[in-house]
Structures are given as C-alpha cells and as structure tokens.
Structure 1
Amino acid sequence: MKKILVVDDNFDNRNIIAQMLRLSGFLVVVAGDGIQAIELTERETPDLILMDLSMPRLDGWSATAQIKARPELAHVPVIAVTGHATRDDIERALNAGCRDYLIKPIDMDAMLSKVYGVF
C-alpha cells in the first residue's frame, strides 16, 4: 500500500484530502506545517507528499527544498497544493523541488489523477 503524507495547516483541508486518499486505498499520514512534514518524511519515508505552500512556522516551499536537499529523501515526489496560482508561485514551487501542483480549491478527480500519475 502506497503511503502519502498530506501537509496542510488547515485542519479541514488536511482531513478532506486525507479521507479521499484513504477511500482510494492509500495509507495516509498528516502534518500541520513544514517542520512536521520534514520530521514525518524522515520517520515515515512516504511514497508521495502533497504539500501546502502557505503555512506557519515553515512554509511548503522551504520544507520541500529541505526535503529535496537530503540525499536519503530526495527521491520522494512532492506535489504542491496551493491557493497561490500565479506563474511565479508555481515556478517557485517547481524550483523548490515539487514535481507538480494542484490549485485550491482542490478538484478531487484532478488530485487523484495526479496521485495515480506518480505511481
């Protein structure tokens, strides 16, 4: 079973995404900010990370860059999940190491399509 880390500081967003993924047969781990995301990635080694970008303590751009900078974690694909839909925001996410992105509000079919595309 593939393990996905869902990172979002908004409780409702995090739980809706996690529930949809669980119903689709994935094992899901959740984090509320970038610091927790790094800690859980080190401990759980997920097969995929869905990373919110705008979060307190440590944003998703920085968390992704830190994860990708670690050789033992660099292989873990990251999909940005964001309300930041400008070309600059998306380019910044891709430059930080994100493989792809989803724009909020999340279209669950599009999310599942991108998730299945990773596997």
Structure 2
Amino acid sequence: MAKRILVVEDNDLNRKLFCDVLKSQGFAVEPVADGAQALDRAREFVPNLIIMDIQLADVSGVELIERAKADALLRPIPVLAVTAYAGRGDEERIRDAGAEGYLAKPVSIGPFLAAVRGLLDKAGA
C-alpha cells in the first residue's frame, strides 16, 4: 500500500509541485490549502507524513505542529516543515514545536525526496 502524505501548503504552485513530485514517486497525496482544515484532514486521512508550510495565510504552521503533537492520534506522525522564511533561530523554534524535519524554500527535488524518505524510514512507515 502506498505511503500517505498530507501536504499543507497555501501557495498553489508549491502545493502542486510537492504533490506532483510525491505522486510520481508512488505516494498517495492529500493536498490541503487551508491551514485551518489541516488537522481535521490529517485525522481523516491518517497520513504517514505531514509536510507543513510554516507561513500559512490563516494560521501559523508552528502552531499547527504544536497542536498535532498534542493530539494522541496525530502525535506519532512525523512532520517535515517547509518555509521560505529561514531566519536565525527559525529551525530551532520549528523543531522545538515538534517538527522532525526542516527544509528552507526554495526546495530542490533531491533534498526534498531525501527528507521525505528519511522521515518515513525513521518512523517505520
């Protein structure tokens, strides 16, 4: 069965790129544009990995990660944080919120897929 990945990204082009790349690698992908719906969709879809944009229009990705890690169902699911705003201390703050992986945009396909596979392997998913 294909590994399931939830992609939370409010930028249409980035969301399409992430989803297309993941689908081409055989993953089952659920795109979410609205951060406010992300955790509900995660509970329904029960992904093996969540890819979380940090700079969402309606809610902070960091806040969503913290809420996911406080939820018994979602806590075990690894989170790969992706952000265009890679300022000093951002990676530490994002990892402290519970993200197991971190990539700065623009994201290159090779490192993106390596991070995805690494987190899935580490989680035993």
Query: Smaller-chain TM-score range?
Result: over 0.9
1:43-91 CA-partner distances (Å, limit 9, x unpaired): 1110001100001221110111111101111000001011121231111
Which residue does 2:90 correspond to in 1? 89
Root-mean-square deviation (Å): 0.9
- Structure 1 gaps, min length 5: none
Structure 1 position 33, deviation (Å): 3.0
Matches within 5 A, 1:1-119: 1-118=2-119, 119=121
In 2, the alpha carbon distance for the partners of 1:59 and 1:108 equals 24
- Structure 2 gaps, min length 5: none
In 2, the alpha carbon distance for the partners of 1:111 and 1:92 equals 20
- 1:86 alignment partner, SS class: coil
- Normalising by the residue count of structure 2, what TM-score does the alignment of the two structures yield? 0.91
Q: Is the 8 A contact 1:84 1:90 kept in 2?
A: no
In 1, the alpha carbon distance for the partners of 2:73 and 2:32 equals 20
- Normalising by the residue count of structure 1, what TM-score does the alignment of the two structures yield? 0.96
In 2, the alpha carbon distance for the partners of 1:50 and 1:33 equals 13
Aligned length: 119
